[in-house]
Structure 1
Amino acid sequence: MFSHNFIEAKTKTIVLKETKLQAFKHVLHYIYTDKNISTLLPIAGICEVLELADQYLLTGLMKTLLDCILKRTNLQSIFYITNKFYLFHFDDLTKVNIRRIANFAKTTFEAESFKTLLVPVLHALLNQYLNVPRSMVFEAVFGWMQANQDQKMHFPMLVRTMTLFMIREEEVNKLVEPIQYVDKAVIQAIKDESQNNENVYKLVEHNVFEYARCFPIASENRFMGLFIDLQDCFILNSLSFKILNTFARYTVSVCTDNKTWKKVVDRVLHSCCGFQELYFDERPIRYAKIQCTFQRGFEIDRNSIKLSYQLTIPKIDPKTTLFFPNQNMVTIEKGAEVVKNVPCGFQATTVRLPQPFTVNCIKMRCQSENGIKVFVSTDNEKWVRVAVLDALPSNKLAWRTVMFQQQPVSFIKIGRREISLTDVRWKLDVNNVVCFWCDTVNRDEVAETTISEWEREKAYFSNPLNVKKAIKRFLVKDDDEQ
């Protein structure tokens, strides 16, 4: 530039337009000394030096300045920095900062500096998933409009990014009265369009309940359930929550329009308590209802509610909406407990599961000189005997395995075939019982089940009179099939 036929080579004074003197001094200092002192400047000063470093292709200085800016970014400066990144055409860094603003939308949308965002930056931000109520997004954008009325031509574009039909009518009316920010006809057209093309999000293994609105369903001063508005449509297939201090029977229904409800979980026939882990076929959901079918009602721990989309879920029985657990459901963490460990016609232990499951396999670690009976139930009243096991020859404490026809199970009763109160080692706890669903095709691979036991079981089916010699009742619907 100075040695060729340019105007700068022929004049003694060179004017650098749109260049701040202080920023240019820092650039010169870096060029002559290879030392950067710009990091001591305020954020605005650093951005001015960064602009010149980008203009003069000083990559070493740019890297140092960018590292400094990213470390010093906070709630007060992130909007200014994002605007600068956009103007410098730092596209990747602009996207990073927009995502940061979106991730902390509950705080950033209430900041006064939000109103300083450039139109393209704000538009890109509104196209991100924002985990805050739509009314909060509207209030932030409306405040931005009030502060930037010179950008009125862009207002319809910004309004189009919001789901207007999900926002209260009195709030939407602020756009036309007393000052008309957007034409009424345009608002109505946008509202109709957004209602017909509502965004549906799929957030993998993310609890979307965090910012949901909840309303109690009450009857005669009793809590009968919970109405949930997620404020956006999500693809979901999993729900979990905790029932407090009572047994309850309930249903879970979902929909996208608050009109056409679909029952995805039915526990009307089962008493449940404690932690509830539920799965259903994936579907778009905005509204959900958890309703108790008992007149006395029940209480839900709202802090325990999780609504999410899981990549892998257990197999679901379409008839009962129960799932087939592929892992042990009898654990203290899941809420299982011993509800009875006393003589009841015969010495027995009853284990209550927190919710019903469709299972076909039970394992127990116990010892009995007189053999074992195993029963299952859904209500702790009507019992189905699923196995009668002979005593092991060694009479040692050992794991025993029972396979039976898959069915809903909420209670498991394991007892001795004859009353004997002298053997205190008989008592069981939840650590000695395992319950799950096993693919019947692979049942021969189940641990602790010996070949001899299966052979004796087959003998039972071939000879109905040989009941006393059977190790298991593989398929029993009544107490007496004979």
Structure 2
Amino acid sequence: MDRHAVDILNHESFTSLSEFSVREIISRDSFCAEEVQIFRAVASWAKGNPEAEVSQVLKEIRLSLLSIQDLLKVVRPTDLIPPDVLLDAIQSRTESKDTELRYRGYKIPEENVALPRHGATVLVGEVKDALLNGDNKNYDMERGFSRHPIDEAGDKGIVVKLGMPCILNRINLLLWDRDQRAYSYYIEVSMDQKDWIRVVDHSKHHCRSWQYLYFPARVVRYFRIVGTHNTVNKVFHVVTLEALYTEQIQNLDLGLIIPQSNVATLDHSALVTEGVCRSRNALLNGDTSNYDWDSGYTCHQLGSGAIVVQLGQPYALDSMRLLLWDCDDRSYSYYIEVSTNQREWEVVCDRTREACRSWQLVTFKRRPVVFVRYGLVKENR
């Protein structure tokens, strides 16, 4: 019904539906037809069902989505809507911001709708054809990404138009990641390119590689991705954009995912930026069994430096687990700091006066985290 709303409205059996059924159908955000078509079908249904409680069905009509001409030429002559309600709708139509209106949109679960075959196009941005072609493997220093210059005013960006209004709650974004650079950015959505609402704000955080972003479900026609910082130069680079509706709801805190599993992994774009290791990515590969004197661990010299892990994007974290090297009976004293930008750090664990060994569970007050710094201050043998 959602995908063929107009056919449902025009079908002869529509007038035989019960009051409950009509309300259930037209109250859905995903029942995507023009509001004037929905009103005409309800008016015909009301005419064929004079004994029904029409007022309850009419409450599901979104009058503020109708043009003023349709309100006056189509709705008013039916006498189904009281004059004061009609005037309120006209006022809402003329005065409400676009973001305050209850739009309808198509819901296509678990499918990327930001594709040319769905009618999506890049309206603003350099190298437009790269962003929506679905290729997230073939890119390098010269090709395979879209971009825009980063300026202080923050009014530049990459603008994408979907082929149809869609109900969305997730965006996947691949930032250019052929070196260790990080980006900051925000994402806004709109229905008319005039009123924008920010659904993702990572403008103060350092982010890299794949971004898996969630927000409360809403109807979207336009995206605007604005880069605010690049740790290497003044250009924002995006390889791939995916937009979809998912049933896999994530818990959020101030717009950040509260992860229910380990996000310090290669699959989540985490990276060790400081530390010494003989075997590549030993700290993040998930292998907690195969390590010995020579391999399988990451270290730093006591009293000098630290081990730093950069997560792919900011998360709302309140716990960590770490495995200290335990192939003999030695113990360690250490501290842990966290940051979102690698400038301001907060201590979340201070075990510099304790003798610790093997598995460690660290808990702290939930906060945004991008960088984690582990510092060993003492080794006890």
- Give the Cα separation in 2 of the matches to 1:344 and 1:350: 14
CA positional deviation for 1:399: 1.7
- Give the Cα separation in 1 of the matches to 2:167 and 2:198: 16
- Give the Cα separation in 1 of the matches to 2:311 and 2:102: 43
- Give the Cα separation in 2 of the matches to 1:237 and 1:325: 17
Aligned-CA RMSD value: 3.5
Determine whether 1:313 maps to 2:249: yes
TM-score, normalised on structure 2? 0.54
Determine whether 1:379 maps to 2:341: yes
Aligned to 1:369: 331
Residue segments in structure 2 that go unaligned for 5+ positions in a row: 11-32, 36-68, 75-92, 94-100, 127-146, 151-155, 276-299
Aligned to 1:348: 306
Aligned to 1:462: none
Q: 1:272 aligns with which of 173, 196, 207?
A: 207
- Give the Cα separation in 2 of the matches to 1:259 and 1:313: 29
Q: 1:259 aligns with which of 194, 199, 202?
A: 194
Q: Would you say the 8 A contact 2:338–2:370 is kept in 1?
A: yes
Aligned to 2:108: 203
Q: Secondary structure at the match of 2:309?
A: strand
What does the per-residue CA deviation read over 1:24-66, in whole Å, with 9 as the maximum and x for residues that have no partner? Answer: xxxxxxxxxxxxxxxxxxxxxxxxxxxxxxxxxxxxxxxxxxx
CA positional deviation for 1:283: 0.7
Aligned to 1:215: 123
Aligned to 1:242: 174
Aligned to 1:285: 220
Aligned to 1:114: none
Structure 2 letter corresponding to 1:269: K
Determine whether 1:358 maps to 2:316: yes
CA positional deviation for 1:369: 2.7
- Give the Cα separation in 1 of the matches to 2:102 and 2:256: 33
Determine whether 1:326 maps to 2:264: no
CA shift in 2, pair 1:208/1:344, >3 Å: farther
Structure 1 letter corresponding to 2:319: C
Q: Secondary structure at the match of 1:391?
A: strand
Structure 2 letter corresponding to 1:350: V
What does the per-residue CA deviation read over 1:268-313, in whole Å, with 9 as the maximum and x for residues that have no partner? Answer: 11011111011111111111111111371211113xx221111132
Q: Secondary structure at the match of 1:333?
A: helix
- Give the Cα separation in 2 of the matches to 1:353 and 1:359: 11
CA shift in 2, pair 1:344/1:280, >3 Å: farther
CA positional deviation for 1:210: 1.6
Determine whether 1:298 maps to 2:203: no
- Give the Cα separation in 2 of the matches to 1:362 and 1:300: 30
Q: Which has the higher strand share?
A: 2
TM-score, normalised on structure 1? 0.43
CA shift in 2, pair 1:344/1:274, >3 Å: farther
Q: Would you say the 8 A contact 1:225–1:292 is kept in 2?
A: yes
Aligned to 2:365: 405
Q: Secondary structure at the match of 2:266?
A: coil
Q: Would you say the 8 A contact 1:255–1:262 is kept in 2?
A: yes
Aligned to 1:479: none
Structure 1 letter corresponding to 2:149: R
- Give the Cα separation in 2 of the matches to 1:203 and 1:249: 30
Determine whether 1:415 maps to 2:375: yes
CA shift in 2, pair 1:369/1:225, >3 Å: same
Aligned to 1:391: 355
Structure 1 letter corresponding to 2:122: C
Greater RCO, 1 or 2 (C-alpha within 8 Å, sep 6+): 2
Structure 1 letter corresponding to 2:343: E
Q: Would you say the 8 A contact 1:375–1:412 is kept in 2?
A: yes
Alignment of 1:115-134 (within 5 A): none
- Give the Cα separation in 2 of the matches to 1:243 and 1:359: 22
Q: Which has the higher helix share?
A: 1
CA positional deviation for 1:388: 2.2
